[in-house]
Amino acid sequence: MKEEKLLLWTLAAINFIHIVDFMILMPLGPQLMRIFDISPREFGLLVSSYTFSAGISSFFGAFFLDRFDRKKILLWVYVGFAISTFGCALSPTYPILLSARVLSGLFGGLTSALILAIIGDVIPDTRRGRAMGLVMAAFSVASVLGVPMGLFLASLSDWHMPFYILTGLSILSLGMIIRYVPNITEHLKNDIVRPNPMVVIRRVTGNQNQMRAITLSVMMMFGQFMIIPFLSPYTVANVGFSEMQLTYIYMAGGAFTIFTSPWVGKLSDKYGKLRIFTIFMILNVIPIAIITNLGVTPIPFVLMVSTMFFVTSNGRYVPAAAIITGTSKPENRGSFLSFNSAIQQLATGVASLIAGIIIGENAAGELTNFNVVGYIAIGFSLLCIPIARRVEIVS
C-alpha cells in the first residue's frame, strides 16, 4: 500500500504540473491580450492551440501506447513536455508562444492518457474512485497554489516567469517517475497481436459503450471550456477585478476542492459513480448561469459563485473519469484512453474557438455575449446526464 500511495502522489505531481501548464495561460489572458495587443479570438486560438495539438498526439498515441512499458513511455513523453515548457518561457512574441504551446500540447496530451492508463492498470475498481480523487486533486492544488503563485510571480517579473518555474518542477518530477513509478508490463504479457491504426479506430468506434463514454467526454468539455478560458478576461473587463485580484478566485476555488476532490472519490465508491456524477453535474449549472451574467459585483459574492463553480466542476469529473476508464479492458486501456483524450482535447479546442467567435468586445473594453456562451454550456452539461446513464463499466 505504501508503494501504491507513492505512485499516486507521483502521478498527482505530474498531473499538477501538466494542469498548471495548461491553466496558467487563462488567468494570464488579460496581460497577454494587452502585451501582444490581441483580440478575444486570437487569445482563444492561443488556448485552443494547446488542446488541438494535445488531441492530435493523443490520437496517434492510441496506436502505440499499449506496445510499451508504461514507465518508459511516460519518461520519454515527460522529457519532451519539460523541453517544450521551457520553450514557452523563452517565447518573445505571440507567434513564437503559439508555436511553443503547440509543442507543449503534443506531449501534454499523451501525459493525461498515460496517467489514467497507469491508474487503471494498477488500482482495482473498488479503490479506483479514491485513486482518481487523489490524482485529480492536483487540479485543486494547481488552482490554490500553482496558478495564484504563477500570477504573483508574473506580476513581480513578467508572464515568462511561471513557465521557467514549471520547467524546473518538470525536471524534479522526472526524478519521481524514475524512483516511484514501477515498470508496468502486465498488459504486454497477454498473447495479443497488436492491431494496426485502422483496427484500433474500428475497435473503439465499433464499441457502442466506449463511444458513449467518448461522447460523454466531449459534452463535458463543451460544458466547461466555453467558459473557463474567458473567465479571467471577463472578470477583469466586466466584473471589476484587477489582474492581481484574479488570484483570489483560484485560491478560494482550489482551497475548497483540495478537500472535496478526495471526498467526492469516496462518495463515488460508496454510493455509486453515476449517482454522484449526476448530483454534481446538476449543481454545476447553477454557478455557470450566474457567473456568465455578472456585471460589476462585490468580491465576496464573486468568490462564492466561482468557488461553487470549481467545486462542482471537479466533483463531476472525478466519478466521470472513473466511469470512462472502466469501459476498457487492461490490454486495450492505453489505446482507448489515448483515443478518448484525443477527442476530449479536440473538443476543448473547438469549445474555446467557438466561445472566442461568439464573445465580442465593446468600445469600453468589456466582453459581450458571455451570457450566450453560458446558456450553450448549460445545455451541453445537462446532456451529459442521460449519456452517462447509458455507459457501462466492464473492468
At 392 the three-state DSSP class reads: coil
pLDDT tens string 94-124:
899 999 999 998 888 788 778 877 887 787 7
Rounded CA Rg of the chain: 20
Using alpha carbons only, give the angle 119, 349, 197 rounded to the nearest 5 degrees.
60
Kindly state the DSSP code that residue 144 receives in the 8-state scheme.
I
Backbone angles phi, psi at 368, to 5 degrees: -115, 160
| Lowest-confidence pick of 36-50, 57-71, 72-86 | 57-71
Can you tell me the distance from the alpha carbon of 384 to that of 379, in angstroms, rounded to the nearest whole number?
Answer: 9
Largest CA distance in the chain: 65
Can you tell me the distance from the alpha carbon of 73 to that of 325, in angstroms, rounded to the nearest whole number?
Answer: 19
Residue 192 predicted with pLDDT over 70:
no
Q: If you average pLDDT over every residue of the chain, what do you get?
A: 84
Specify whether the CB–CB gap between 359 and 39 falls below 8 A.
no
522526472: which residue's cell? 174
Residue 194's pLDDT band, with cuts at 50, 70 and 90, is low
Q: Give residue 231's identity as a one-letter amino acid code.
A: L
> Average pLDDT, stretch 57-74?
77
pLDDT tens string 165-180:
899 999 999 988 988 8
pLDDT at 301: 94
pLDDT at 47: 82
pLDDT at 346: 82
Q: Give residue 309's identity as a one-letter amino acid code.
A: F
Residue 187's pLDDT band, with cuts at 50, 70 and 90, is low
pLDDT at 58: 72
Q: Give residue 119's identity as a one-letter amino acid code.
A: I
pLDDT tens string 270-280:
888 899 999 99
CB atoms within 10 A of CB 363: 5
Positive or negative, the CA dihedral 156, 38, 247, 147 is negative
pLDDT tens string 338-395:
678 778 878 888 898 899 889 988 888 888 999 999 999 999 999 999 999 999 887 6
pLDDT tens string 7-31:
888 888 888 888 888 878 877 877 8
Q: Give residue 22's identity as a one-letter amino acid code.
A: F
**Beta-carbon contacts of residue 74 (< 8 Å; ≥ 6 apart):** 14, 111, 114, 118, 177, 181
Q: What percent of the chain has pLDDT over 90?
A: 25
Long-range CB contact pairs, 233-238, < 8 A, 24+: 233/29, 233/30, 233/33, 233/40, 233/43, 233/367, 234/292, 234/367, 234/370, 235/302, 236/30, 237/30, 237/361, 237/365, 237/366, 237/367, 238/294, 238/295, 238/296, 238/366, 238/367, 238/370
Does 267 or 144 have the greater pLDDT score? 267
Can you tell me the distance from the alpha carbon of 211 to that of 390, in angstroms, rounded to the nearest whole number?
Answer: 11
pLDDT tens string 293-336:
998 999 999 999 999 998 998 889 889 988 888 888 776 776 67
| Lowest-confidence pick of 28-42, 50-64, 137-151, 314-328 | 137-151
Residue 197's pLDDT band, with cuts at 50, 70 and 90, is low
Q: How many CA atoms lie within 13 A of 345 on its CB side?
A: 32
Q: Give residue 39's identity as a one-letter amino acid code.
A: S
At 360 the three-state DSSP class reads: strand
Chain centroid to CA 19: 6
Residue 195 predicted with pLDDT over 60:
no
Residue 368's DSSP bridge partners are 360
pLDDT at 383: 95
Can you tell me the distance from the alpha carbon of 364 to that of 32, in angstroms, rounded to the nearest whole number?
Answer: 18
